[in-house]
Amino acid sequence: MADTEKLLNTALELGEGVLRLFPNWVPREFCIPGRRLKLHPDDYYSFGTHRGGIDERWFCSTTKADNGPLTLEDEGLSYIYIENEHHVNKVLLADAINIMGNDIIGKNIMDKYKGWPMYSKYFDNLEPLPLHLHQDDEKADLVGAKGKPEGYYFPKQLNNHPAYFPHTYFGLHPGTTREDVKKCLDLWNKQDNGILYLSKAYKLKLGTGWDVPPGVLHAPGSLLTYEPQYASDVFSMFQNITWNKYVPRDLLVKDVPEKRRMDLDFIVDLIDWDLNTDPDFYKNRFLEPKPVKPLKEMKEEGYEEYLVVYNSDAYSAKELTIFPGKSISIKESSAYGIIVIQGHGRFGVLDIESPSMIRFGEMTRDELFITAEAARRGIEIKNTSKVENLVILKHLGPEK
């Protein structure tokens, strides 16, 4: 532990409170990669074809992926990159926070959450996912986990094509009953259970997002999606066939207590009925970007910044654009992470750039974690290009 703490102090000193992170890839057996993650074309099945393709990249994660019995010990966990005197070391962000949490995420967050309570990711699938939900705290606690709210944002820079189905099903038609859903679940091993007939699809719009609380049924579409979320990986699939692909019933009850896995009444109770049947679902859950201060004022200073994911106490996200040749100083009230999606420049004392192509296992300079002290102190960010915008997505944890 002493050696690790010494390495971490070196990294914090060299980055002046900003840490570099390795790319963190996650495969999903039931997904087909949309191939917009900038991975080399040969590398999308680097975990082995038996594990499925890589269709997610996780950011600032101290949450282990839950991918069944073949899940690797560090799958889904972010590593800090530490380069000192031509030697490269890496330390799990989770371990770093366990050792130096007060210095990295701040004493208030450490005392309240005992660790970093969120992460973000890219979800990049060629086809839509099955209709599913994420449990709330009460239901997740029954399997020793935490509930998971999540937010969506669809960055234009990473959606050069929409893949097969750029629509997402959300919620249930008003008037849908518990018996309607139970009939669908009872058909799981007999035929297409038809649960999408009970839901509504919305065409996805680039540069906007959605708020997805726990208990809300959703079948994500095929746009690459940036997803800040609570630090959990619980879910229950409610759709048994997606585009002629069978979804094992095990994925319906993955995070259901063993004694309740045949209890359809219990499973239907995972649904938040008020949220799902809300007649104003679009009005209450759709997220238009909000400028953080008057646009004219920001443009005169050489940048634009929008709040793009909000309505959650656990996380939020912003999109920051710095114009060519401009520098700005940005402060935040708490620790946060970034991913660079366009351009190149400087973030404090560190070079940053959005890569064109990444080999599996290679380092990049597009992901950082900013400690609480550095965030509050403020960091100068410079766009060193004369012609291209520097665009950064910022995933922020709770402020308190």
Residue 194: is its pLDDT beyond 80? Answer: yes
Question: Residue 84 has what pLDDT?
Answer: 76
Confidence of residue 237 (pLDDT cuts 50, 70, 90): very high
Same domain, 175 and 244: yes
pLDDT value at residue 400: 76
Task: Please check whether residue 276 lies inside any domain of the structure.
Answer: yes
Instruction: Determine the pLDDT at residue 268.
Output: 98
**What is the structure's pLDDT at 246?**
94
Q: Write the CATH number for 389.
A: 2.60.120.10
Domain count, the chain: 2
**CATH of residue 218:** 2.60.120
> 28-32, 132-136, 167-171, 270-274: which has the minimum mean pLDDT?
28-32
Residue 208 has pLDDT above 80, yes or no: yes
Residues 222 and 301 in one domain: no
Domain enclosing residue 295, as ranges? 290-396
pLDDT per position as a tens digit, 11-50: 999 999 999 999 999 999 888 999 999 999 999 999 999 9
139 and 275, same domain (yes or no): yes
User: What pLDDT does residue 399 have?
Assistant: 79
State mean pLDDT over 230-255. Answer: 95
The pLDDT value recorded for residue 50 is 94
Instruction: Tell whether 324 and 338 lie within a shared domain.
Output: yes
Looking at residue 29, its pLDDT comes to 86
- Reported confidence tier of residue 83, pLDDT bands at 50, 70, 90: confident
Residue 110 is assigned to a structural domain of this protein: no
- Mean pLDDT over 164-176 rounds to 98
pLDDT, the chain, mean: 96
pLDDT (average), residues 59-83: 95
Last residue of a domain, one of 269, 287, 305: 287
Please give the pLDDT value at position 147: 96
314 domain residue, yes or no: yes
Instruction: Please check whether residue 166 lies inside any domain of the structure.
Output: yes
State residue 87's pLDDT score: 84
Q: Based on the fold, state whether residues 255 and 185 are members of the same structural domain.
A: yes
Report yes or no on 76 lying in a domain: no
In this prediction, residue 81 carries a pLDDT of 96
47 and 159 in a single domain? The answer is yes
Which pLDDT score, from 0 to 100, does residue 209 have?
98
> What letters, b where the CB count within 10 A reaches 16 and e where it falls short, cover 75-105?
bbbbbbbbeeeeeebbbbbbbbbbebbebbb
Whether 166 has a pLDDT exceeding 80, the answer reads yes
Residue 157 lies inside a defined structural domain of this protein: yes
Q: Which of 256, 287, 318 is the last residue of a domain?
A: 287
Residues 342 and 263 in one domain: no
Same domain, 163 and 217: yes
Top-confidence residue, 184 or 400:
184
pTM (two decimals): 0.96
> Would the pLDDT of 392 be above 80?
yes
* 163 band by pLDDT with thresholds 50, 70 and 90: very high
Mean pLDDT, residues 101-123 taken together = 97
| Mean predicted confidence (pLDDT) in 65-90 | 92
Please state the rounded mean pLDDT for residues 248-255.
96
Considering the domain architecture, whether residues 51 and 174 belong to the same structural domain is answered as yes
Last residue of a domain, one of 287, 320, 347: 287
Given a cut of 90, is residue 244 above it in pLDDT? no
Question: In this structure, is residue 104 part of a structural domain?
Answer: no
Task: Indicate whether 178 and 316 sit together in one domain.
Answer: no
Do 41 and 161 fall into the same domain? yes
**Predicted confidence (pLDDT) at residue 112 exceeds the cutoff of 80:** yes
Domain assignment present for residue 82? The answer is no
Q: What is the mean pLDDT of residues 229-233?
A: 94
Residues 301, 367, single domain; the answer is yes
